[in-house]
Structure 1
């Protein structure tokens, strides 16, 4: 099949800017390997749109570039990207794009809303409370909890709080990134991810599961310092595997996701507990989702080729 003209957007106005640049560069290289004509665009930290040479072109010119492409791959993780913002831009520009739409992106980025949706379809989540700057002073620590911004990624602003003294700095770090903070009870279980790939015909496929083995919390440092041990497929019995996949599909469908989404769980003695959903997860060749599908025989370039062709067909 002949290649498509594909726009790849990286960067973004959030704390995942550098991670997104790495994902976008890797995605562009892989798509070029499959003979697609790749057009690079970058959203700078201040919101400026840059062309492939790094020169400012402005939003209006960027939209014209997008309109000249068959499909867009918005590889911008986090707020003002993964949260549906770029999906909305593509919708308004009338250009097909890879990944979830506006509603699913916004719902999944909001960890509190994701919990409500999961609970509504019978998927367990960690008990937690939502705090704002106004309500946080009244929260009293009584047992170990995890503090996290409601809408941020790559574990930025996430803290494990083991004592009352650790709570104020943990809340302060989270509030730097969001004006809403989630405080969840610490869940004891194995950290296992399942990626779901939706196709235009309505079919959905689960990847082999991935278990994250770390000494302590899978935080920002352990995500990128190479100390985490990723085991693919996770050592699961048939009941555990089926339970995780059914839960992943239920949440994917309830949120209305499209393309690839990574659904993260804790596997406890009582079954899966949802942690979060990523509608645009890290996407270098060594990132979790590409490695999960590679374990099923779908290479990184082939996975991306499938995603852009599916998006073009669906659009």
Structure 2
């Protein structure tokens, strides 16, 4: 029986490059090699390459996302997308693969582009009744009006790049004097900013995926950061506790899982998503939703999957089979 050829896309062009390589490596190691012929594909600023186990590489033929390796033409049946940021999480890769007719494990290009833009995504979800923090949007060409920002969102607040992940460029602002430096830092990641009121409550994260046609939510993970918020150090350098299942009531668990599923359905998602919330007096407020969540050993989704007593081999295989069915 012919094995399904799987190309794992990893790397990307953003500050999340190294994290994506870790995610891709976890997927590569976990996939069942008796069912799948698996290749690592690095999409980086210097070029696109198939990377082989012996350290050699072959350039990607962008006409079919394949490559020629020692006279053998490799063309994937499906792409497993583990790229955080551009071009994997912003819809660019999904649009390109759709034109080639190659299925991929993440959501469609429009849904990816929408969710990657925090401003636009929150605006759409508010229309579906999803609760979000008070916020204000700022473009680099605009004058910085400190009074307007404070009047609208108050202090403390978060200053975030509108189109970035892994907490790159995010600052928590507790004093007025910190606001302008935080804005300048965020502009290094993006020309558009989102400034949000800081909510006080329990931070939780929920994965959602499809199993045999049924939408399922994984157990929420509670995030307790040693830092002011769940920043890069907290996410990837051990400066936090990520407790699965979250230490919340059954009622709160059901509420946040329902909200995560509602977001998935409202945005017509595919693949696995991770939605982050602050529970304020038991009510979930959305922080953001991710269509290409981290899959490294330190990431939340693998921890939730293991808690559900599902192997990563089975879970990643499920994402591949769903993508092939949806083709």
TM-score > 0.5 by shorter chain: yes
1:265 — aligned with what? 277
Root-mean-square deviation (CA), in Å?
A: 2.0
Equivalence for 1:242: 254
Q: Secondary structure at the match of 1:60?
A: coil
Corresponding position of 1:160? 172
How far the C-alpha of 1:56 sits from its partner, in A, is: 5.9
Who is 1:207 aligned against?
Answer: 218
Q: Match of 1:50?
A: 49
The structure richer in helix per residue is 1
Q: Which residue does 2:137 correspond to in 1? A: 130
Cα distance in 2 for residues equivalent to 1:96 and 1:144: 43
Asked whether the 8 Å contact 2:252–2:282 carries over to 1, the reply is: no
Give the superposition deviation at 1:61.
5.9
From the superposition, tell whether residues 299 and 136 of structure 1 become closer, same or farther in structure 2 (CA, over 3 Å).
farther
Match for residue 194 of structure 1?
Answer: 206
1:93-131: CA deviation from partner (whole Å, max 9, x where unpaired): 101110101111111111111211221111110100000
Shift of 1:54: 5.9
What residue is the counterpart of 1:310 in the other structure?
322
Q: Map of 1:67-86 to 2, 5 A cutoff?
A: 68-86=75-93
Compared with structure 1, are the counterparts of its residues 128 and 73 closer, same or farther at alpha carbon in structure 2 (3 Å cutoff)? same
1:67–1:94 contact (8 Å) kept in structure 2: no
Q: d(CA) in 2 for partners of 1:71 and 1:145?
A: 42
Long gaps (5+) in structure 1: none
Residue of 63, 66, 70 corresponding to 1:64? 66
Distance 1:138 1:67 in 2: 54
Aligned twin of 2:107: 100
TM-score by length of 2: 0.90
- Aligned twin of 1:38: 38
Structure 1 range deviating more: 30-39 or 18-27: 30-39
The separation in 1 between residues aligned to 2:168 and 2:48, in whole angstroms, is 24
Partner of 2:28: 28
1:219 and 2:219 matched: no
Alignment CA distance shift 1:145-1:267 (3 Å): same
1:59, distance to aligned residue in structure 2 (A) = 4.9
Higher normalized strand content (fraction of residues): 2
Q: Is the Cα–Cα contact under 8 Å of residues 195 and 207 in structure 1 kept in the other structure? A: yes
Q: CA deviation at 1:3?
A: 4.2
- In the alignment, structure 2 segments of 5+ residues that lack a partner are 68-72
Give yes or no for contact 1:154–1:223 (8 Å, CA) kept in 2.
yes
Provide the aligned length of Structure 1 versus Structure 2: 313
Shift of 1:302: 1.1
SS of alignment partner, residue 239 of structure 2: coil
Contact 2:140/2:191, CA 8 A, preserved across alignment: yes
String of CA shifts for 1:69-98, please: whole Å, max 9, x gaps: 221101100122111111111101101110
